Amino acid sequence: MTGPGTTWPAPRWWRTGGYDISAGGELTLNGASLSALLREHGAPLFVYDLARPAENMRALQGALQRAGVTYRTRFALKSCPDPRILAVLRGLGAPGAPGSVGMDVCSPGEVLHALANGWEADEISHTGTNVSERDLDTLLAHPIHINLDGVSQVERLGRRAPGRTVGLRINPAAGAGFTAALSYAGERPTKFGITADRLDDALAAVERHSLVVDTMHFHAGSGWLGDQLGSFESALRNATRFLDRILAAGHEIREVNVGGGLGGVARDDEQPVDLDAYAQVIREHLAPYGVTAAFEPGDFVMKNAGVMLAEVVSVERRGGTTFVGLDAGWNVDCSYFIYKYSKEILTLADPMRERTQLVTVAGHINEAGDVFAEDYPFPDVAEGEGVALLNAGGYLAAMSSTHCLRPMAKAVYLER
């Protein structure tokens, strides 16, 4: 029950990595005052911690190494095509070096972007949906690896590039995701991947065009946390049934790509994925096949590497609800608008301020759905104060638009 006088403690989960509180009580990132950055650059502003993407990728690689998994990591480019971030990931290893990070791409534009930012074609893995003949014009012009996600794609690529080495993206009919919308497979068929009832048709098309299948790919969904490791494992178990059938058809599978999907905590009561337990699950199910396990995380690498700053422009009661209005909109942070996933929001001047009310945090786009959080415990806040929307490093900048001719957010980058 809530009512007058109810309070909520300030969240604490975010106090890791470069986030801290200054002697004056202000929120800092890598020692920099976020209030000062907001004053200097204006809202909306993304602030990236350049150390985090590397730390996150190394954490995953470390767990895989400890578990004795033969692995390959690629970065899901769609989560952050920003060249400054890509330079950090490129810096983790030269092409082919241990610990280097390849590229997971999903469109011709991403292929060209990866090449332009220093990736070699053989480090690039394309897994796309509803790939057109025009898309194939670009994809087939480069010696990248292509995973085919439907019988039609196998047929059309096979006609144009007979004999090419490819992968098959399957639909494991089980998924894991932070919300139902972020689960990419389940009982109801989704648009991704070759379903069990179509695998023979896909393999027949492979045969017809003399394609060589060296990879099986699946992606269970995005943003899943520690409590969904079992759901991921169900998807992986189902995927190995496809693998058995592909192997029985005579294909030498060298890589099983388990997609991305690892989430990051955003609340005090959420459990992070235990990376060692994840690596053990991978090892248990894939080691018997002697394949390389491939990973293509996006949000896990980027999510906590960025924060979005905005200013409170209005605080107003409407029909019994307090609306906290920001000078930022869903055009730069669509996570609640699209996924109903609300970010933790901190006041920059005093992030540990006790939370005294349930509010709706709304944006400056002329749509009723332009909100960042509803029924969200928040402190008393004044117009003109700066706030930070945490975990804004993945996808948001890439998904931004100039809807209502509101500008996209600027970005600044902090070394640690």
Ligand X SMILES: Cc1ncc(COP(=O)(O)O)c(C=O)c1O
The binding site for ligand X (CB under 6 A) comprises 76, 79, 104, 127, 219, 222-223, 259-262, 296-300
Q: Tokens at residue 396, please?
A: 């948001």
Amino acid at 164: R
Residue number with CB closer to ligand X (56 or 342): 56
212 CB burial (10 A radius; 0-12, 13-18, 19+)? exposed
Distance of closest approach, residue 358 Cβ to ligand X, in angstroms = 29
Distance of closest approach, residue 270 Cβ to ligand X, in angstroms = 16
Distance of closest approach, residue 169 Cβ to ligand X, in angstroms = 7
Residue number with CB closer to ligand X (19 or 75): 75
168 CB burial (10 A radius; 0-12, 13-18, 19+)? buried
Distance of closest approach, residue 27 Cβ to ligand X, in angstroms = 26
| Closest residue to bound ligand X by CB | 260
Q: Tell me the angle at which helices 229-248 and 275-286 cross, rounded to the nearest 10 degrees.
A: 20
Distance of closest approach, residue 202 Cβ to ligand X, in angstroms = 17
Residue number with CB closer to ligand X (11 or 177): 177
> Can you point out the beta strands (E) in 9-84?
19-21, 27-29, 32-33, 45-49, 71-76
Phi, psi of 44 (to 5 degrees): -80, 150
Residue number with CB closer to ligand X (30 or 183): 183
Q: Tokens at residue 387, please?
A: 């706030």
User: Dihedral through CA 54, CA 59, CA 64, CA 67, nearest 10?
Assistant: 160
Burial string for 325-334 (b: 16+ CB within 10 Å, else e) reads: bbebbbbbbb
Neighbours of 167 (CB within 10 A): 24
Residue number with CB closer to ligand X (294 or 387): 294
Distance of closest approach, residue 389 Cβ to ligand X, in angstroms = 18
Distance of closest approach, residue 236 Cβ to ligand X, in angstroms = 15
Distance of closest approach, residue 79 Cβ to ligand X, in angstroms = 5
Distance CA 113, CA 390 (A): 27
Gyration radius (Cα) of the chain, Å: 23
- Nearest to 263, CA basis, from 176, 185, 340, 338: 176
Contact 147, 126 (CB under 8 A): yes
Per DSSP bridges, beta strands 306-318 and 45-49 are antiparallel
Contact 290, 391 (CB under 8 A): no
Residue number with CB closer to ligand X (298 or 379): 298
Contact 374, 297 (CB under 8 A): no
Distance of closest approach, residue 64 Cβ to ligand X, in angstroms = 15
Residue number with CB closer to ligand X (27 or 168): 168
Contact 358, 333 (CB under 8 A): no
Distance CA 4, CA 269 (A): 24
* Alpha-helical runs (H) found in 108-196: 108-116, 133-139, 151-160
Residue number with CB closer to ligand X (261 or 351): 261
Residue number with CB closer to ligand X (209 or 219): 219
Distance of closest approach, residue 193 Cβ to ligand X, in angstroms = 9
Per DSSP bridges, beta strands 386-389 and 101-105 are unpaired
Residue number with CB closer to ligand X (18 or 394): 394
Distance of closest approach, residue 65 Cβ to ligand X, in angstroms = 20
Residue number with CB closer to ligand X (297 or 386): 297
